[in-house]
Chain A
Amino acid sequence: MIKFFIDSKEVTAKKGESILEVARREDIYIPTMCYLPKATAIASCRMCSIEVQGQEGFVLSCNTPPVEGINVITNSDSLYHERQNIMKLYNVNHPLQCGVCDKSGECDLQNKTLEFDVGEQDFAVRDQARKKKKWGIHTYDPALCILCEKCATVCNETVGNEALFIKPGGYKSHIEIDLSNCIQCGECISVCPVGAMASTDFKYTSNAWELDKVPSSCAHCSSACSLNYESKDGTIMRVTNESDFSSLCGAGRFGFDFENRVLNKDENAFNEAIESFKRAQNVVFSSFITNEEAYILNELKKKLGFNLVNEDARLFGEFMKNFSTTASESLYNATIDDLKISDFIISIGCSIESDNPMIKFAASQAVKNKKAWVASIAPVVEHDISNVVSQYINNEVGSEEAALAMITDTFIEDKASQQTFFDSLDLGYLSGESNISEEELDLLKTKFARKLNPILVIGEDVINHPRAKNIALLAGYLQKSELFKVIIVPPSTNTLGVSLICDLDKPQDGFSVGYNAPADFTLSAKGSGDLDMPALNQQEGTFVNIDKDLVVLNAAIKHHGYELNDIANALGVESENIIDYTSKLGFKTIEFDDLDNYYDNVGNAYRGYKIESKKNRKKATLDEVEELAEYNGSVVYARNPLRQFSSFTKDCKQLDAKLELVGSEQFALASKIKSGDHVKFSVDNVEFSRVFKLDKHMKGTVAYNPTFDMDLKSSGYRYNQVKLEVINE
């Protein structure tokens, strides 16, 4: 703790905090242009200069830690003059096009120019012709750019793409892009303080002040990031976020037009739905659902006695149950924020790149800021994130259990409590079968030395693995050992919430009703079923996200049709509004309207509340590692391309992704196909027809098979041996 003074007010700084951070925390205003709280200080604008009493000259508050006892002066005549001059320099040849600029009304340059009363200009330089550039979803106007470097910083540090960079050249400096690295996430757009980086789709369609902001949570993946839907006349125009503190991936930022537009209530379909519920054997639903709706379905189950089916959440729930027996608590203990400050990350069974983009964003920040060692244990090598992953450990398909057992054996020192398990391990056999060499583990072990915040990331591959139970036990054992913090990535948006709320069953034969899942009678938020339901941007509710936070979802667009609550009311589970159930979910008894959804001045998120982990007193012993199934020939891996998660992202107009089976040359050779071939294959009795695309960077015999076009993705093991059939016309 460092005690010092800001404008004679006594404040204390924690270790590593800068003067600016302390000032923000204490509500003391220091103007900035380039400061981005979620990244390391850029220090390009020099607006945050301050004076220290008794010292000559200015100090940059954004990257200077305080010294005991100093008195910082945040405002004086000379500081004002300095800042005014900076604003004047920023305004040199800045086009006076505020009238047409999208940023007008929320522009930092506009605000600070007025704040520092820059009415006239003392500086001049010869203007130059600068061409606008279109880079896919974003356009760049170098004439408007003030070179604050925020976009390049987020691209490199927060997102970890290294696509944007500064092309230096004095007054000619501008931002350049390496488009092959760009994942079109739009983080650069969100942090741009001026109108230089703009969304191609949004450009010139409306002004900042015309938009109604609805703070909500992203509905696409389990991160459920905080976002604001900004709509005009009942249409969502764009998505923004608290870009100072949080991030969004491309799907969150550009995949907002998945609403289900219904003009009126279809009474016939509604009555049919009620009849269907009454005689349903199974009610199948996907995890793209709010907690409240899941709760309603569970109540209906109690009343009507059908089987409530959601394989994705059931498997996850089972995984967590097994996990808790060795972990002694019901939930995993790491969050995305922990991942950001972690210095050693092992990921197993997770497509870091595409399963949950926030995992990748966080890993990138850990690598950049904490020099983290990131090891990815997976049968595929995701070459696009090679700047994030330090060590690819390439296991054989299906050998995740062996891999985790070897990890456990490598890191656990005190083996007494599970002696029989460790004795039963035949490391030579496991190493041979899983193809993980001792050298790889030794390297991992060496890198582990003196690490303070190691985290284990458990992905979807192992949750629906045939040997999921023992993997869960191992993961729980690792959490209990306190060697690793563990984070388990829920496969879909609200898988965790559903698994905590609902009492799920295995499917049985008989008439089934589906909610966003194919069935005999389908309630669909896609508009493709028998009764239209509101999509997740049209309803109020809550999610439980990967951080175990119960986060708030608000309706950005009106829904004119029926919702699940109407059906429940008709079936005798009565409540006026669906959000009345929020306090009854079984977590905390807080009403929906009392839930917070904002970030404070320093960036602490106040989003709903954290679900507390419960103690589990059961004791379990680890199972022996079973002999491994062999996967030979062509193996496809159910993995969506970036910015695609489900059928909800599929039809978003700004998210274009092709339904391509992407594989390596080796895969093409082994399967006797070539790039451009139409192929047919079936996985878990679902027929897929895809165009094969050769990716030269890929290696191995595993190909990526996108599943985002399916109404309900399969919850089986994600790797499948397939027989490919070429069906070229």
Chain B
Amino acid sequence: MNQEQFNDRNVSDDGYLKVDIADYPTTPWGRFKRVVDRTFKLELFVGLWVVLREMIKFDIHTVKYPEEKMPIGPRYRAVHEMKRLWESDTERCIGCGLCEKICISNCIKMDTKIDENSRKEVSEYTINLGRCIFCGYCAEVCPELAIVHGGEYENASDQREHFVDFAQMLTPIDTMKEGKQLEFEGFGAITPHEDERVKKTPLAY
């Protein structure tokens, strides 16, 4: 497809199936005729029959939310999750502060300190979901794949403070121990051919 075709936004010309719909009546006499047709030609029962037929079939397509939920794509960007390391079950977050820096709605706030092993430790981490626009920059910039977007899209709550705490975002340790932590497959995730792309440092030993 060349560029000209791509830019041609006049979609109505071809390639579309045109439904044979009569034009809207423009005269009062035409509108009167439409009312009479709809009332007396039993068109109403056509629709009712469709509903009845589908009901009797018991093959219902409606998702009974909130009992049922649609599966969402792995790249869906909803409430953030904090992942743990597979090797040690500890947090992946190293406290580099890049998510805080890149956040365009300024909703991430973190504090770090030196811990007893003289490593950097995240002492405070919150995301204000009331401000978050779910752009995904934080997940994209994270060098450790620690902060990712999850599938939790139900943000309704009676408390503003809900869903913003580090502990709540972090994969529960039980889930981790069971090996059920799900990796994010969206932007920034490791691709299947990652090994081939990595350039190795020469080692003298």
Contacts and interface: CB of A to CB of B under 8 A. Distances in A.
A204 B95 contact: yes
Contacts, number: 51
B118 A122 contact: no
Contacts of B144: 99
Contact of B204 (A99, A119, A125, A132): A125
A100 interface: yes
A207 B101 contact: yes
Nearest to B202: A124
Contact of A210 (B97, B114, B120): B97
Contact of B101 (A98, A100, A120, A210): A210
A139 B118 CA distance: 10
A391 interface: no
Given A99-B94, A210-B101, A121 B121 contact: no
Interface string B180-205: 00000000000000000001011111
B118 A126 contact: no
A164 B111 CA distance: 32
Contacts of B101: 207, 209-210
Nearest to A122: B202
- The B interface, classified by DSSP as helix, strand, loop or mixed, is loop
Interface in A202-221: 203-207, 209-210
Given A99-B143, A204-B121, A205-B113, A124 B204 contact: yes
Given A99-B94, A100-B94, A204 B201 contact: no
A123 interface: yes
B64 interface: no
A124 B96 contact: no
A104 interface: yes
Nearest to A97: B94
Interface string B136-150: 000000011000000
Interface in B84-114: 94-98, 100-101, 111-114
B120 A100 contact: yes
Interface string A287-324: 00000000000000000000000000000000000000
Q: Pick from B111, B143, B201 the residue with the most CB of A within 10 Å.
A: B201
Contacts of A210: 97, 100-101
B3 to A, nearest CB: 33
Contacts of A124: 201-204
B119 interface: yes
A207 B110 CA distance: 11
Interface of A: 98-100, 104, 119-126, 132, 139, 203-207, 209-210
Interface of B: 94-98, 100-101, 111-114, 118-121, 143-144, 199, 201-205
13 contacts: A120-B201, A122-B202, A124-B203, A126-B205, A132-B118, A204-B113, A205-B111, A207-B96, A207-B97, A209-B101, A210-B97, A210-B100, A210-B101
Given A99-B96, A124-B201, A204-B121, 4 more contacts: A100-B119, A124-B202, A139-B118, A207-B101
